[in-house]
Amino acid sequence: MKYLSFPLSALVILTGCQTISDNSTKQAPKNQIPEHIAQQIASPVDVSHALLADETADVIHPVEDVDIPLEDNIILDDGIWQRIRNQLVFQVPENRRVTVQRNWYAKHQAYLDRVAKRAEPFMHFIVQEIEAAGIPMDIALLPIVESAFDPFAYSHGRASGMWQFVPGTGTRFGMKQNWWYDGRRDVVASTKGAIKYLKYLHKFFDGNWMHALAAYNSGEGRVQRAIRNNKKRNKPTDFWSLDLPRETRAYVPKLLALADLVKRPKEFKLSLYKIADKPVISVVDIGSQLDLAKAAELANLTLKELQHLNPGFNRWATDPKGPHYLVLPDNKVSAFKSGLNKLSKKERLAWQRYKIKRGDSLGIIANRFNTDIGVIKQVNNIRGTQIREGKHLLIPVAAKSLDKYILSSEQRLAKKQNYPRGSEKLTHIVKSGDTFWDLSRAYGVNYRKLAAWNGMAPRDALRIGQKLVIWRKSKVTTAATPSSDAIVRNITYRVRKGDSFARIANKFNVTIKEIERWNNLSRKKYLQPGQKLKLAIDITKAI
């Protein structure tokens, strides 16, 4: 589900280290870095390492795996794999593109075990949804190709979730996305959306599943153009004959290779990790917004376990406007429902009475309490945006400190931003007009790295007031170097009569070299009155 356009250098990193291409059968080098470290790496320079930790899916895994406390089941035969095996329908050709992928998977038992363990809570649900939709059971294996069955996985093409939807396609197929919630990571919503999208693509390509799968990876327009080009040249238009991106040419063979291994694992000396052929999770209606920490307590789960089962929720509570459900292990449902029924509506969230101060706005108050304006207005029956000094508001707040919600969007970002990538960490507060490109030049760093350090893609829009981190390899020991607690602002300074590089540098506590770099100037040239200079200053130190 990733429609990507990488520069050549990024493609070299991605394909050279990860994708099993048609032109190479080399194994990924072993023991590159420990898995727990690789999972936290997100900079494009280090993407190759993170991919090696995953070994086949071109995604980043921002959180560690969690063992979900499921029922102890006696698993007969191959459990869910036998059910899948009985319904596989795709013909698997014996060609080199499939063979290369199949050989790689067959030689990596530990990788397949790790992926199957991630899939265990969700596999039975996915199989049932695919059966109900009447589409090929082979598609139950697609999350292995897309994300290695990680609902928190993301790619630098802004794709997210187990089924790897980009924002636009996610919205198009029913996945709500807002400050509170991202349905692309919700296993229930994204599975239903993926099935809808695949059925649409199957119809779009006149019943050709190979074309539909290729389009799921690179977009229907790209596959359609490849088909048209072949028709113009009187060439075959089957998937294997199309001129498609390298990633897509490997994508469909990966799925077919996995289906073949599930069909006959013993022939390849594989032992499939056993998953029970019975429901192990339930979707529980909660009726209205609920603090996730309270939900975890009611279900006798750790907060991390609850968040891993419900990765769609970005914050400390469920979305006040829904979806109003939680995914829970079947063996926890009864106790959870009993406890939830005893809670009053006000006990579902923690509350704080706040007295409005001079200068306050709904936006300022919402940011202060890590909630959104809509929630405050709804709770306090506010219709417009006007509030009065001295009046009181009732504010819903997190039951625990925010750092306890370790898989929330904010905590995942904080972990990414704080992961050391140099000896010097700077902080920049985004102002109007800032771009990754301009900031990268101002701070002397790569703009793709800068975006990745902050969990974004290089083309993503920056928000005024957004906090960015910048890492430098070596610390510059000058008075002008902002500390990690600095309040950095980009300003435009108009040169005045009598100004010089040295005078401006002293005035704003920066160096002449920095002024030269930020403005692509040389100190050998005279500054002209009225000339505009870009400066990145720490306002806590500026004179």
Cis peptide bond upstream of 396, omega within 30: no
- Per-residue confidence (pLDDT) for residue 226, from 0 to 100: 97
Give the residue from 504, 503, 502 showing the smallest Cα distance to 535: 504
In the chain, the N- to C-terminal Cα span, in Å, equals 51
Three-state SS string over 207-256 comes to CCHHHHHHHHHHCHHHHHHHHHHHHHCCCCCCHHHCCCCHHHHHHHHHHH
- Per-residue confidence (pLDDT) for residue 460, from 0 to 100: 76
What does each C-alpha distance from 69 to 59, 236, 328 come to in angstroms? 26, 51, 10
User: What is the pTM for the complete model shown?
Assistant: 0.67
Token pair belonging to 113: 């075990």
Ordered domains of the chain (ranges, CATH): 8-268 (1.10.530.10), 281-346 (no CATH), 350-398 (3.10.350.10), 420-538 (3.10.350.10)
Number of other residues whose CB lies within 10 A of the CB of residue 49: 16
Going by the DSSP 8-state scheme, the letter that residue 153 receives in this structure is: -
Query: CA 439 to CA 435: how far, in whole Å?
Result: 6
Going by the DSSP 8-state scheme, the letter that residue 68 receives in this structure is: -
Token pair belonging to 365: 């108050």
Q: Is the dihedral of CA 212, 14, 115, 95 positive or negative?
A: positive
HSE of 88, CA atoms in CB hemisphere, 13 A: 22
- DSSP per-residue string spanning 73-125: ----TTTHHHHHHTT-------SHHHHHHHHHHHT-HHHHHHHHHHHTTTHHH
What does each C-alpha distance from 465 to 158, 298, 422, 426, 480 come to in angstroms? 22, 37, 24, 15, 22
Name the active-site residue from 55, 120, 131, 146.
Answer: 146
Query: CA 41 to CA 416: how far, in whole Å?
Result: 8
- Per-residue confidence (pLDDT) for residue 404, from 0 to 100: 60
- Per-residue confidence (pLDDT) for residue 219, from 0 to 100: 94
Query: CA 371 to CA 395: how far, in whole Å?
Result: 8
- Per-residue confidence (pLDDT) for residue 373, from 0 to 100: 87
User: Per-block average pLDDT, block size 10, for the chain (543 residues)?
Assistant: 41 32 34 35 34 58 84 80 97 96 95 96 98 98 96 83 95 93 96 98 98 96 97 97 95 97 96 94 95 93 94 90 95 96 86 88 86 83 89 80 60 68 82 84 84 80 84 56 53 81 79 85 84 74 43
What does each C-alpha distance from 257 to 104, 211, 236 come to in angstroms? 9, 17, 23
Query: CA 109 to CA 123: how far, in whole Å?
Result: 19
Give the residue from 294, 290, 295 showing the smallest Cα distance to 329: 295
- Per-residue confidence (pLDDT) for residue 448, from 0 to 100: 82
Query: CA 379 to CA 289: how far, in whole Å?
Result: 12
Is 146 in the active site? yes
Residues 6+ apart with CB under 8 A from 511: 478, 480, 505
Q: In this structure, what are the phi and psi dihedrals at residue 94, rounded to the nearest 5 degrees? A: -90, 70
Give the residue from 346, 451, 532, 531 showing the smallest Cα distance to 44: 451
Going by the DSSP 8-state scheme, the letter that residue 274 receives in this structure is: P
Spatial contact of 257 and 105, defined as CB atoms under 8 Å apart = yes
